[in-house]
Amino acid sequence: MQAAHVVWGAAATHYRVHVFAANGTVLSDYVSGNNPQSSALEDSLPVSSPGAVPLHTMRKYAHRTAAELAEQYKVPAQMIEQNDEIVEE
């Protein structure tokens, strides 16, 4: 199935990137937490923790991951969009 667009979002505790087919099917779902020692969501740190990755860095990581997945799935850069609502899933 051909990928059509990539959506990324970030919150203080984690970020998420979806790769969608034209029919809306999720082809890839990538999630990473705010713990610099582990990207596993269950290892996310409290936002107040001095070791937690800050939100602005989480956004940068999310955008970079979205660009990498877009390249992997051959999705044009203009079809990458930000939507922080997806991190609530």
Q: Which residue has the higher pLDDT, 3 or 73?
A: 73
Taking the C-alpha atoms of residue 66 and residue 46, their distance in angstroms, rounded to an integer, is 24
For 78-87, write each residue's pLDDT tens digit: 999 999 999 9
| Helix, strand, coil % in the chain, rounded to nearest 5 | 35, 35, 35
Task: Tell me which residue range forms the domain holding 19.
Answer: 3-88
**Hey, what are 17's tokens?**
């990137």
CATH code (residue 65): 3.30.420
Q: How many distinct structural domains can be found in the chain?
A: 1
Residue 13: partners with Cβ closer than 8 Å, 6 or more residues away: 33, 34, 44, 45, 47, 52
Give the pTM: 0.92
Instruction: Choose among 79, 69, 61: nearest CA to 18.
Output: 69
3: pLDDT confidence band, cut at 50, 70 and 90?
confident
